[in-house]
Structure 1
Amino acid sequence: MLKSPIGKFRLMGLIEGLSLLVLLFIAMPLKYFADLPEIVTLVGSLHGFFFVLYVITITYVTFKIRWSFMWAISAFVVAFIPFGNLILDAKLRRSQYS
């Protein structure tokens, strides 16, 4: 998976997507229902770090394999949608880039 630019992107997308899911479905409920706001601080910081790496990876892949503008924009947009990176990953596996 890490041998190609797309493989690196897919891995980073999965990490970023999972960090969003942990933030939304584990950390946020713990903040409001278990009164543990420090969990959101920790997980949110990690998610922010992974998001920055994800955007850097989008830029790298866009220039490395000459990704179209639509692939780059869609890769950025799905980062804001829960489970979006998993859907994009499935499309990438079926695309010409895999």
Structure 2
Amino acid sequence: MAEFFDLSTPAKRFRLVAFWEAVTWLALLVAMVFKWGFGYDEAVKIPGMLHGITGFMLFVLVTLATARALKWNAKVTLLALISSVPPFGTIVFERWAVRNGLLAELSLTTPQGATGEQDGDAQKDQAGARA
């Protein structure tokens, strides 16, 4: 768990902020239930500000810094930024980026068998070596 809070590289900072953005989204969604379901208009005041500043804006800044540090192209950077719009999209993007080798050392330390593509490639290589 301490490894999750390691902020020593751009990829690790991106991962933590992507998950934090999703947590603040969850808090805002819960607050919206209280606002629209139970009539507590003030319920979204703090979670809305928390998500807007420490979730969304922080994610945008860290995404731009990560894109520069890891040399993401414009398409990947745009996908990362768009992922902050739907709830929990940042988690989906982070997982996709790890699987596709876009998050440096996080992509290299993916456990064996975590992605079908890597397993399929390994099986093809083994089959070619046997033939």
TM range (shorter): 0.7 to 0.9
1:33 corresponds to? 37
For 1:27, the aligned partner's letter is: A
Compare relative contact order (CA 8 Å, sep 6+) and give the higher one, 1 or 2.
Answer: 1
1:43 counterpart (44, 47, 52): 47
- With 83-92 and 6-15 compared, the bigger mean Cα shift is at 83-92
Cα deviation digits, residues 33-76 of structure 1 (max 9, x gap): 22222220110000110211111101111111211111110011
TM-score, structure 2 as length reference = 0.68
CA RMSD of aligned residues (A): 1.4
Structure with greater Cα Rg: 2
Following superposition of structure 1 onto structure 2, how do residues 12-31 of structure 1 map, counting pairs within 5 Å? 12-24=17-29, 26-31=30-35
1:78 aligns with 2:83: yes
* Counterpart for residue 64 of structure 1: 69
Deviations 1:64-94 (A, max 9, x none): 1211111110011111112211211211221
Partner of 1:55: 60
Which runs of structure 1 show a deviation greater than 4 angstroms over 4 or more consecutive aligned residues? none
Q: Does 1:92 align with 2:97?
A: yes
Q: How many percent of aligned residue pairs carry the same amino acid?
A: 29
